[in-house]
Amino acid sequence: MLKITTVVFSVLFGLLVLSDLVHADGAATFNTKCKACHGPDGKGNPALKMMKPMDTSKSDADLQKVVADGKGKMIPYKGKLSDAEISEVVKYLKSLK
């Protein structure tokens, strides 16, 4: 019984750590690709007066489409970021509330 409990705990702990690492990748991608225009909190860069706060109330699919295809002056990231990277950026954006 102790071995089973230890294995289950180890697997759950590993998944938790892996989840944090994946989320960290979304933050790293945001910081290198998005932060200059969207600001560190996604509310926009005051130096860029045309930048509006990001609307994180949209669905994940809608936000992924914006990141992939671009919008307005925002460049598209399709082909520059993988679908998984775009998905992690969106998860990170949702955490910025």
**Residue pair 33/77 in contact by the 8 Å Cβ criterion:** yes
Beta bridge partner(s), residue 71? 74
Say whether pLDDT at 97 is over 60. Answer: yes
| Nearest to 34, CA basis, from 97, 81, 84, 82 | 81
Are 74 and 48 contacting, i.e. CB atoms less than 8 angstroms apart?
no
pTM above 0.75, yes or no: no
**pLDDT at 87 (0 to 100):** 96
* Torsion angle defined by CA atoms of residues 24, 30, 33 and 38, in that order, rounded to the nearest 10 degrees: -160
Return the higher-pLDDT residue of 17 and 82: 82
Right CATH for 21-95 from 3.40.109.40, 2.60.40.10, 1.10.760.10, 2.60.40.180: 1.10.760.10
pLDDT band at 20 (very low <50, low <70, confident <90, very high): very low
